[in-house]
Amino acid sequence: MNEIRAQKAELRARLLRARRALSAQEREAAAAALARTVRGVPECTDSKVVAAYVSMGSEPGTGPLIDVLRERGARVLLPVLLPDNDLDWAAYDGPDALVRTERGLLEPAGPRLGPDAVTGAQAVLLPGLAVDARGVRLGRGGGSYDRALSRIGRAGARPALVVVLYAHEVLDVVPAEPHDGPVDAALTPSGVRRFRG
């Protein structure tokens, strides 16, 4: 393992410990605050198609903010994890249309739209563990979103890339490898931090 990967692994472990230390009430309050905050993010609320994700465990809660996007008229696409860790996509039709997978994820039950469906989104909400002042996002290390973002890069018009985090996960510096491209903004319970444009 090279030095940057070792630094990423150490930072991931520290950030995951901090997330697990949050109480259920703190996580619930953060999810409600994210839903309020996203209302002031035109890149998300003015988009006709937004790619998002269903949070799990101690991740910042995305359920309420997904509902806000739908109320604003956006078609929300959610990922479906494929056996090779790539992402397919399906439309979100409400919480009753989600199914729990063998891996414990909640995914949409509707028709699959294909891995390239994400290229039609005007905004992409990304999971992450941290972001730095340059907009470099630290994910969990599985590579699923790196693949999705590479498709977006080849598709032409680039959507707004917004990572969803807790406020304390916006850091000065995140270890970066050449494939770690920047995001445009971080959506946190305490507000939005923009990195580009």
Give the pairing of strands 87-91 and 75-81: antiparallel
Please report which confidence band the pLDDT of residue 62 belongs to, taking 50, 70 and 90 as the band edges: very high
DSSP character string of 22-75: S-HHHHHHHHHHHHHHHTT-HHHHT-SEEE-----TTSPP-HHHHHHHHHTTPE
- Check pLDDT > 60 for residue 10: yes
Report the 10 Å Cβ neighbour count for 96.
Answer: 6
Query: 135-153 as b/e, with b when 16 or more CB fall inside 10 Å?
Result: bbbbbeeeebbebbbeebe
d(CA 136, CA 163): 10
Residue 108, helix vs strand vs coil: strand
Domains, in order of start, for the chain: 3-194 (3.40.50.10420)
Beta bridge partners of 107: 99
> Is the per-residue pLDDT at 197 higher than 60?
no
Which tens digit of pLDDT belongs to each residue from 75-128?
999 999 999 999 999 999 999 999 999 888 899 999 999 999 999 999 999 999
Q: What digits encode the pLDDT tens for the residues 15-55?
A: 999 999 999 999 999 999 999 999 999 999 999 999 999 99
Q: Which of 149, 130, 125, 150 is nearest to 140 (CA)?
A: 130
Pairing of strands 98-100, 191-194: unpaired
Look at residue 154 and tell me whether its pLDDT is greater than 70. Answer: no
pLDDT digit string (tens) for 165-175? Answer: 999 999 999 99
CA distance 79 to 77: 7
pLDDT tens-digit profile of 136-153?
A: 999 887 778 888 888 886
Tokens describing residue 115: 């891995």
